[in-house]
Structure 1
Amino acid sequence: MKTPVVVLISGTGTNMAALVYAAKHPDCPYEIVLVASNNPDAPGLILASAEGIATFAHPHTGLKRAEFDAILDAEIRKSGAQYVALAGYMRLLSPEFIANWRDRIVNIHPSLLPAHKGLHTHEAVLAAGERVTGCTVHVVTEALDDGPVLGQTEVAVIDGDTPETLAARVLIAEHQLYSRCLAGFVAAATGPEALIAQVRARAVALPEADEVTSHGMPCWGIIKGKKFAYVSNDHHGDGKVALLVKISGVEEQATLIENDPDRYYRPPYFGDGWVGIRLDLGDNDWDHIGEWLARSWRAVAPPRLTKLMSIADEF
């Protein structure tokens, strides 16, 4: 299952196009589910639509930054996107928007950051007499062009370059760099190891929980006691990354699977007292996963521990 991404553009969208075409490769970990713009006349919207991608455009004129970004945020959430990629989006994002998508917004900038932040980068490179420039993919924060760097590509400055000729050559490098960095960023956050780490952090926080390996899977249980959770990673070649937790029995198992068959399934060899919860669908509610782990822990924990947990819950 590929991770859904929205791309924001304001103009021709050539970097967006590079991301779209990279996403068509079966090994790419992301897919573009929406291209959105603050410019209804952005030519990139036509390309995205021709490629079968949903588009959204709304002019920002007359709206405060936070008001416009709230409209944009709502549309992105409707698309199911988990990450935001800026590709020639010529509008600063509001602090509220960045906070809502913290560590899930990336941007590409036509210089070797931290050099030459902001606009007119190629003019600045030539004016400084620099012999090397390039492009940078970075995580977006509230500070302009200042987030953690995900990757850079150097581009030589040639004698006689103008801002236009230099920009054209840097753009080629951007098209090569952006898709690789976005793929690596998404894979690092949504790959099996990252998903297992998310489960681990919540499981080991439960009283007297420890981790072992059982049936080739990482699992968690009460120290010297019963197991309450496993993570199945392509177990027996089923292609799934899933959390396996205890439930009340066959009726609850059937109800969960009937209501959401894409997410829940009956794990082979575990019986009716367990359910598999897919973690590789790209839309995990980690608070809810934590609740599942706590409930499963309660099902196997001795009374002395559950009493302590109940007392803690009251506070």
Structure 2
Amino acid sequence: MPGKPRILPERAKVAVLISGSGTNMAALLYASRAADCPYEIVLVGSNNPGAAGLTLAAAEGIGTFALPHQGMARIDHDMAMDAAIRASGAQYVALAGYMRILTAEFVTGWDGRMLNIHPSLLPKYTGLHTHERALAAGDSCGGCTVHLVTAALDDGPVLGQTPVVILPGDTADSLAARVLIAEHQLYARCLSDLVAQGSSPDFLIQQVRELALALPETDEVLSHAMPCFGIVKGKKFAYVSNDHHGDGKVALLVKISGADEQAQLIELDEARYYRPPYFGDGWIGIRLDLGDTDWDAVATSLNRSWHSIAPKKLTGLFSAADQF
């Protein structure tokens, strides 16, 4: 008998921001055409309506958005770009030659889900003229770096780097041309790794584990084939469901106040929240595999669930500690 057809996970939706020719955007786009690529480009946005990359994206059937920044307050422009990105359904943002310094408000809204490529081996040579600076310093290599975006310029955790050797007689232009080849290969690989991590059961379970075990007097056991967290030798306050009974979900199950809160959460976001079978009205399932998990909110849910079952002597000590 033939086996079951392979069901591929839904691909993560990515918006790319550019200001010019968009060669890195094109590299990401064409990499996404591979059958096993875990992402798709849903929007190419720019602060420059004349950017050549917009023409290419439109010709390839990708939605585009352009808004000139001249005459706009930086925060207003950022929020308009943010609104267009969210309207596209994007879960991640890739900066690809976007020549605007982003506001902290914009960056915070995409914390952990926005990445950038920079033409140097960071932390060397943040900012502009990276190739000239590498040559002037007598470096043996230039290169490129993909990193998560933070409010600090060209900062944030490094996701990948590729060194590019500097040859005798190199100019900034000749070095830049070879670094660009490396950028085109590195960026798609790092983006793929990042979005795949966001739906990896091992990664998601580990994030919950670290948050849950940071709560006082907590341990982990296996219950009903699920990682389960509770007070040591006491009640349980959280489970992680990984395709439990073949439902295809990676989700956190936590205690809530009851049926009314359960219904309110499901109505608020029925894609994320659900009534977990066999657990009753006092629990809620929270999908972790949608690619946009708010881990601060997860920590709050775990904390609240822990408080609901922890002995008063523990909750009292915990509350006292929070005051310091």
User: What TM-score range do you get, normalising by the shorter chain?
Assistant: 0.7 to 0.9
- Residues 1:263 and 1:147: Cα distance change in structure 2 (over 3 Å): closer
Given the alignment of the two structures, is residue 154 of structure 1 paired with residue 163 of structure 2, yes or no? yes
In 1: Cα distance, 2:224 partner to 2:151 partner: 45
Alignment of 1:123-202 (within 5 A): 123-127=132-136, 130-188=139-197, 191-202=200-211
- Residues 1:139 and 1:281: Cα distance change in structure 2 (over 3 Å): closer
| Secondary structure of the structure 2 residue equivalent to 1:224 | coil
| Secondary structure of the structure 2 residue equivalent to 1:115 | coil
In 2: Cα distance, 1:49 partner to 1:43 partner: 10
Superposed CA offset, 1:27-85 (max 9, x none):
44443332211101112122323344332211111223333223223333434434332
> 1:2, 1:282 within 8 Å by CA — same for their partners in 2?
no
Report what 2:230 is aligned to.
221
Report what 1:277 is aligned to.
286
Amino acid paired to 2:242: N
Report what 2:22 is aligned to.
13
Cα root mean square deviation, aligned:
3.7
> 2:27, 2:184 within 8 Å by CA — same for their partners in 1?
yes
Given the alignment of the two structures, is residue 81 of structure 1 paired with residue 90 of structure 2, yes or no? yes
Worse-matched range after superposition: 94-103 or 80-89: 94-103
Runs of at least 5 residues in structure 1 that lack an aligned partner in the other structure: none
| Secondary structure of the structure 2 residue equivalent to 1:93 | coil
Report what 1:231 is aligned to.
240
| Secondary structure of the structure 2 residue equivalent to 1:154 | strand
1:198: how far off? 3.7
> 1:203, 1:209 within 8 Å by CA — same for their partners in 2?
yes
Report what 1:38 is aligned to.
47
Amino acid paired to 2:178: R
Report what 2:272 is aligned to.
263
In 2: Cα distance, 1:129 partner to 1:205 partner: 47
Worse-matched range after superposition: 228-237 or 24-33: 24-33
Report what 1:71 is aligned to.
80
The partner residue of 1:61 within 47, 70, 75 is: 70
| Secondary structure of the structure 2 residue equivalent to 1:225 | coil
Worse-matched range after superposition: 14-23 or 183-192: 183-192
In 1: Cα distance, 2:321 partner to 2:290 partner: 33
Amino acid paired to 1:60: H
1:280: how far off? 0.6
1:134: how far off? 1.8
> 1:229, 1:245 within 8 Å by CA — same for their partners in 2?
yes
> 1:2, 1:281 within 8 Å by CA — same for their partners in 2?
no
In 1: Cα distance, 2:316 partner to 2:128 partner: 60
- Residues 1:273 and 1:174: Cα distance change in structure 2 (over 3 Å): same
In 2: Cα distance, 1:145 partner to 1:291 partner: 31
- Residues 1:230 and 1:147: Cα distance change in structure 2 (over 3 Å): closer
Report what 1:50 is aligned to.
59
- Residues 1:157 and 1:268: Cα distance change in structure 2 (over 3 Å): same
Per the normalisation by structure 1, the TM-score is 0.79
In 1: Cα distance, 2:212 partner to 2:86 partner: 28
1:175: how far off? 0.6
| Secondary structure of the structure 1 residue equivalent to 2:90 | coil
1:178: how far off? 0.8
In 1: Cα distance, 2:133 partner to 2:27 partner: 26
Report what 2:126 is aligned to.
117
- Residues 1:204 and 1:75: Cα distance change in structure 2 (over 3 Å): same
Give identity over the alignment, percent.
68
In 2: Cα distance, 1:47 partner to 1:117 partner: 29
Runs of at least 5 residues in structure 2 that lack an aligned partner in the other structure: 1-9
Worse-matched range after superposition: 69-78 or 165-174: 69-78
Amino acid paired to 2:187: Y
> 2:198, 2:289 within 8 Å by CA — same for their partners in 1?
no
Amino acid paired to 2:234: G
Amino acid paired to 2:202: E
Amino acid paired to 2:78: D
- Residues 1:239 and 1:24: Cα distance change in structure 2 (over 3 Å): farther
Worse-matched range after superposition: 80-89 or 95-104: 95-104
